[in-house]
Structures are given as structure tokens and as C-alpha cells.
């Protein structure tokens, strides 16, 4: 079934976040910071692995530039942070990390290539193997996030169910519209965005990753336009 991988993913995040929230107050601050740094380093490695799979760096460049402009005009990062702040005011009480936990975990759990490719695979064939791998990674990551940032990580579960589940449900539509090269470039752009998350986790650069989310949709359009131009000139 198309929803099996998504439900598994949500369950592992739920378990990890509950464990992390319980451990948070009992772990030394230095240890919690080191856990997040470790997740940040892993996030960089995972993002780089997918980003370098592009067939042409110009595809990524074009998608990031155009997608960044669109995202900035739509103020996606600002709106996502505002949503997190709203949830913080409603549920967080005196906590100052609910918004950060929600925004950070939502981006990490829902932007990566495994989210898109895993959901598509699960929706088309019922094979949840990629989402199973993602579930394990997200489960351990949610422990680290919740131990450091608090229970706000739990709020990302709703986004996982809606966004990732929606991708799986609509997989048949995607399969008819997108070619393998287009899927590959979407994966590569997703990897680049994951690199941005890693930089943010390591406090190297506060990349407003959400503003670049449209780049994932722009990538296949660029590939399609280039293919049409090649056919037109007989290349």
C-alpha cells in the first residue's frame, strides 16, 4: 500500500522524539550539542551524496537561482517560521525552541531526496524500502533534535503524513509526467537543500532553506526545456 512507508516514518519520528524529549533534561548540554553537530555532519554527507549525482551542474544552478527567487517572493521561509512561532505561542508556553524544533525537523524530514524518491517508489510499486531506510535515519535524528530542541519535533509528524503521504498518493501522476533524468535532477537539488540544512545545524551559515523549496519543482522543468531545445536543433 502507498501509505505503509509514510506511516512507518511517522512512527519512528514519534518514537525518537518521545525518547529524545525524555532524555533532554538528563543529558549534559555539551553532549546534546555534540549530538546535533554529529547529525549536522551526517546531513552534509547525505546531501553531498545526492547532489553530486546531477548530470549537469547547470541544471542545479538554474533550479536554485529560479527557485530561490520564487521562494523569496512567496516568503516561504518567513511563512514557515511564522507557522512555527504560532505553534510555539499556542503550545510552547515559556519554551523558546518549539518553533526552531518544528522548522528544523520539518525541513530535514521532508526536503531530502529520500522523501521524494521513497514516496514515489512506495506509491507506484508498494515497495517501502527507501522509506524504511529514511525512517531509521529520521528516527535517530529525531532523538537528537528532541533532546536538544524539545518536543516541537513532534509537530513535524503532521507534515510528514500530509506531504510525504500526498506524494505517495499522487505517484501515478508523477510517473506519467516525469522522466528518469528529471527525477534525478530533483533528487540532486534536494541534496543541495539538505546541504543547506547541514550548514544551519552546524551554525556555519543560517541558510533560509525553505525559500529554495520551489527549486525542486523547477529542476524537472529546466530538464524538459533543455530536452525540447536539443530536439529542435537536432542535438
Q: What is the pLDDT of residues 99-138, one digit of tens each?
A: 778 877 887 788 665 777 678 778 877 778 878 888 988 8
Report angle CA 127, 130, 134 to the nearest 5 degrees: 135
User: Closest by alpha carbon to 159, among 179, 136, 138, 143?
Assistant: 138
What is the rounded CA–CA span in Å between residue 42 and residue 140? 12
* Residue 75 dihedral angles phi and psi, to the nearest 5°: 55, 50
CA 32 to chain centre: 22
Model pLDDT, residue 39:
76
Model confidence band, residue 88 (pLDDT cutoffs 50, 70, 90): low
C-alpha cell at 84: 512555527
**pTM (predicted TM-score):** 0.74
C-alpha cell at 71: 521562494
CA distances from 19 to 2, 46, 49, 64, 160 (A): 28, 24, 29, 36, 19
Q: Which residue has the higher pLDDT, 8 or 23?
A: 8
Model confidence band, residue 60 (pLDDT cutoffs 50, 70, 90): very high
Amino acid at each position: 500500500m502507498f501509505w505503509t512507508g509514510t506511516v512507518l516514518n511517522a512512527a519512528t519520528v514519534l518514537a525518537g522524539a518521545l525518547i529524545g524529549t525524555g532524555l533532554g533534561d538528563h543529558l549534559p548540554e555539551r553532549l546534546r550539542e555534540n549530538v546535533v553537530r554529529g547529525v549536522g555532519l551526517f546531513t552534509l554527507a547525505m546531501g553531498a551524496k545526492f547532489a553530486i549525482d546531477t548530470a549537469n551542474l547547470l541544471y542545479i544552478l538554474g533550479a536554485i537561482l529560479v527557485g530561490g527567487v520564487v521562494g523569496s517572493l512567496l516568503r516561504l521561509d518567513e511563512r514557515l517560521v511564522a507557522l512555527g512561532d504560532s505553534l510555539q505561542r499556542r503550545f510552547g508556553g515559556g519554551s523558546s525552541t518549539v518553533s526552531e524544533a518544528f522548522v528544523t525537523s520539518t525541513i530535514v524530514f521532508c526536503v531530502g531526496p529520500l522523501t521524494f524518491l521513497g514516496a514515489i517508489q512506495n506509491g507506484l510499486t508498494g515497495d517501502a524500502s527507501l522509506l524504511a531506510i529514511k525512517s531509521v535515519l529520521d528516527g535517530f535524528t529525531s532523538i537528537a533534535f528532541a533532546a536538544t530542541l524539545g518536543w516541537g519535533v513532534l509537530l513535524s509528524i503532521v507534515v510528514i503524513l500530509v506531504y510525504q503521504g500526498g506524494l505517495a498518493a499522487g505517484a501515478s501522476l508523477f510517473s506519467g509526467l516525469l522522466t528518469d533524468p528529471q527525477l534525478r535532477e530533483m533528487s540532486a537539488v534536494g541534496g543541495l537543500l539538505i546541504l543547506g540544512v547541514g550548514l544551519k545545524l552546524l551554525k556555519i551559515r543560517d541558510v533560509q532553506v525553505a525559500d529554495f523549496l520551489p527549486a525542486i519543482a523547477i529542476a524537472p522543468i529546466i530538464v524538459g526545456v533543455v530536452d525540447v531545445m536539443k530536439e529542435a536543433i537536432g542535438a
